[in-house]
A and B are shown apart, each in its own frame.
Chain A
Amino acid sequence: MGEAAAPEVVIRTVGLTKHFKDVKAVESLDLTVHRGEIYAFLGRNGAGKTTTIRMMLALAKPTDGYAEILGQRMKPNALRAFERIGSMLENAGAYGNLTVRENLEMQRNLLGLRRDRWVDDVIEMCDLGEYLDRRASTLSLGNRQRLGLGRALLHKPEILILDEPTNGLDPVGIADMRALLKQLASERGITVFLSSHNLGEVQQIATRIGIIHKGRMLEEIGYDDLRHLNREYLAIGVSDTKRAVWVLEEKCGVRDFAVHEEGSVRIYSGFERAQEFNRVLIESGIGIISSHMSEENLEDHFVKLTGDDAEGETPSPGRRRGSRGWRR
């Protein structure tokens, strides 16, 4: 029995680098995306996601390295590759004086496509039907995103490159977008490369994740691998973190634990002693606010990798900056 053929690499960057004077926006970034994957390019705001995508699409010139899509080195006028790529960069633009229909028709003409059933499918998939005769300037940001996605899909691309595709979408719109991307990947075999800082969104659709931080690729990992990496833990909410740490170390001999945030301690082993931990903590005068078993998720993994030393926004709502604490 022969070995199964390795999946085709459709996007590859090699040593991709972009410096803006002294700012190292992207530094020696290597990534690979295989056919059929939904690859989530994850990073905080300012991590270098958009710059990387712009270089991949030949919208920015790399300082060093290169990007290759479908075997073609990406540079301006890489027409053969662009024929097979659909893209939407953040805040999808549209000609405001034209209607949604005219924007789509113009794109169709520019792509040299005949009007066929697929255009109607795209309109339906992107939920643009009721907006067809509205000027693009009157659309909400979310509907502009839909229009941008519609344009990107018009030529039945093999690869879809999306920069923050759910920007401006409401929760229902986000769920629809997620479902659509999954459908495009599973039913039409489209490879999806999307950037995001929304961990929840990525967690639900990505088959592979690349984590970028301060312009560097920290990790590329399949979602299944990530699940195996995730550890179970006992989360104890306490009234006095410092004292709880001392009690756990000195009185219970716990070594494998972390202060997740002020008032929350995670213990990664010895779960059978959970009752004992709680009892000793209470006996030591520490209030127990909560105690439950849980599992690390993508957010935890992301924070573990990127830490809190970066400038910019926190990776997700609900996590205070500088509160990650330490891990033994």
Chain B
Amino acid sequence: MMRALAAEFLKLKRSRMPLWSGLIVILAGGLGLAVLPVLSDPATQAQIAKGGGVFAKAVAAGAYGPTWENYLRIGLQGMSGSWGVLTFGFVTAYLFGREFREGTAKTMFTLPLRREYVMLAKMVVLAVWVLGLGALSVLVTMGTATALGVGGFTWTHVLTSLTDTVAVTAALYLTLPFVAWFAMLGKGYLPPMLYSLAVMMVSNGLVETPISHWVPWNIPLHLVGASWYPVPPSSLPPGSWVVAAAFFLAGLAALMWRADHADSAR
């Protein structure tokens, strides 16, 4: 298992994907938060309120006020509700799909090494990667807030944000084995990327419905809320986590089964 793990980390050497995924986080987080001062301008807020819709509700709730608390919360909400599902999905697609794109799957599966170990090693690398992106997101938020001279900094807010980031990242991670499964099934990048896009759209559409707490991709969003719907942060029923865990285990089982039984190489 350790040999597989070391190999999986080595495969990322000089790879541009970690850089690209970091760039997405910086752009999505930084640019999104940079517009908050504009949104907090009374004249703009009045216009938004007049326009109605989800942003008007958020403005009415005071979600866009330029405070450290709001910045950290909205930064995290961006990850849980939009770019997280997509970016983490793309990272998963890369980790699992590249073996087929680069023609290395057949070598990987003819090694005297259990295929499950290879899959597990990839899942470990994925966990480290998405946690790193989560941490980067917090740093980007803090950097943007500092650059814009936002007031109200306390370490308590930062610590809370870090804890929430770990929870959101973990909740999103639980949805990723099925993305990996799609990469194995489709033998490449496109099917898992399309799947990630589709689930993001569908789950966002279900956010304000009663079943949203049971939709695995919406669990992170309910953890920290979403200012733009607005969905308040809620304490999720334990059943939500059971669903998420079951979804993770089912995805993992499907992934292992695929690696073990199906025609696995092109």
Residues of A at the B interface (CB closer than 8 Å) are 54, 57-61, 76-77, 79-80, 82-83, 85, 87, 89, 91-98, 102, 106-107, 109-112, 135, 148, 151, 155
Given A96-B102, A135-B14, A76-B107 contact (CB < 8 Å): no
- In the complex the two chains form, what is the Cα distance from A148 to B105 in whole Å? 13
Can you list 18 A-B pairs, Cβ within 8 angstroms, ordered by A? A54-B263, A57-B106, A58-B109, A58-B110, A60-B263, A76-B109, A87-B106, A89-B265, A93-B103, A93-B107, A96-B102, A97-B11, A97-B13, A97-B14, A97-B16, A98-B10, A109-B3, A110-B4
Q: Which residues of A contact B110 (CB under 8 A)?
A: 57-59, 82, 85, 87
Interface centre among B10, B16, B106 (most CB of A within 10 A): B106
Q: Is the CB of A92 within 8 A of B103?
A: yes
Query: Please, how many angstroms separate the alpha-carbon atoms of A114 and B242 in the complex?
Result: 45
Q: How far is the CA of A326 from the CA of B104 in the complex (A)?
A: 45
Instruction: Select one of A80, A91, A109 contacting B7, CB under 8 A.
Output: A109
CA A57 to CA B15, docked complex, whole Å: 29
A205 vs B112: C-alpha distance when bound (angstroms): 29
B132-190, CB < 8 A from A: none
Q: State the Cβ distance, A193 to closest chain B Cβ, in Å.
A: 14
Chain B residues whose C-beta falls within 8 Å of the C-beta of A109 in the assembled complex: 3, 6-7, 10
Which among A59, A98, A107 is the interface contact of B265 at CB below 8 angstroms? A59
B261, A61: Cβ atoms closer than 8 Å: yes
Tell me if B113 is interfacial: C-beta within 8 Å of chain A.
yes
Give the 4 A-B CB pairs with smallest separation, nearest first: A93-B103, A93-B104, A82-B112, A83-B112
The secondary-structure label for the interface of chain A is loop
Q: For residue A111, which residues in chain B have a CB less than 8 angstroms away from its CB?
A: 111-112
Complex interface: chain B residues within 8 A of A77 (CB): 114-115, 260
CA A135 to CA B16, docked complex, whole Å: 14
Beta-carbon contact of B113 and A95 below 8 Å: no
Q: Which of B83-97 contact A (CB under 8 A)?
A: none
**Chain A residue contacts of B260, Cβ below 8 A:** 76-77
Q: Is the CB of B15 within 8 A of A97?
A: yes
> Complex Cα distance A88/B230, Å?
56
Complexed CA–CA distance, A218 and B6 (Å): 46
Which residues on B are within 8 Å of A, measured CB to CB?
3-4, 6-7, 10-11, 13-16, 102-107, 109-115, 259-265
How far is B257's CA from A76's CA once the two chains are assembled, in angstroms?
11
Instruction: Identify B115's interface contact among A61, A76, A107, A135, CB under 8 A.
Output: A76
Assess the B114–A94 pair: CB atoms within 8 A. Answer: no
Q: Which of B7, B103, B113, B264 contacts A79 (CB 8 A)?
A: B113
User: Which residue of chain B is the closest to A81 with respect to CB atoms?
Assistant: B112
Q: In the bound complex, what is the Cα–Cα distance between A111 and B111 (angstroms)?
A: 7
Evaluate contact between B265 and A54: CB separation under 8 angstroms: yes
Residue with the highest number of chain B CB atoms closer than 10 Å, among A77, A79, A95: A95
- In the complex, which of the residues A59, A95, A98 contacts B109, with contact meaning CB atoms closer than 8 Å? A59
CA distance A161 to B105 in the complex (A): 16
Name 13 extra pairs, CB < 8 A, besides A59-B110, A87-B106. Answer: A58-B109, A59-B106, A60-B263, A61-B263, A76-B260, A76-B264, A89-B106, A94-B102, A102-B13, A109-B3, A110-B111, A112-B3, A151-B107
B263 touches A106 (CB 8 A): no
Chain B residue numbers with a CB within 8 Å of A87 are 106-107, 110
Q: Is the CB of B14 within 8 A of A98?
A: yes
- Report A89 CB to chain B, min CB distance, Å: 5
Q: A128 CB to closest chain B CB, in angstroms?
A: 16
B3 touches A98 (CB 8 A): no
Chain A residue at minimum C-beta to C-beta distance from B260: A76
Closest A-chain residue to B105, C-beta based?
A: A93
Query: A110 to chain B: which residues have CB within 8 Å?
Result: 3-4, 7, 111, 113
Q: How far apart sit A246 and B154, CA to CA, in the bound complex (Å)? A: 105
Closest approach, in angstroms, between the C-beta of A21 and any C-beta of chain B?
13
Taking CB as reference atom, which chain B residue is nearest A105?
B10
B111, A59: Cβ atoms closer than 8 Å: no
Asked if residues A95 and B112 are in contact (CB atoms below 8 Å), the reply is no
- Nearest neighbor of B98 in chain A, beta-carbon distance: A95
CB distance from B137 to the nearest CB of A (A): 25
Least CB distance from B28 to A in Å reads 25
> What is the CA–CA distance of A92 and B15 in the complex, to the nearest angstrom?
20
Report chain A residues within 8 Å CB of B15: 97
Minimum CB distance partner of B6 in chain A: A109
Are A59 and B113 in contact, CB atoms less than 8 angstroms apart? no
Residues of A within 8 A of B259 (CB): 76
Given the complex, which residues of A lie within 8 Å of B105, measured CB to CB?
A: 93
Chain B residues with CB under 8 A of A79: 112-114
Q: How far is the CB of A54 from chain B (nearest CB, A)?
A: 7
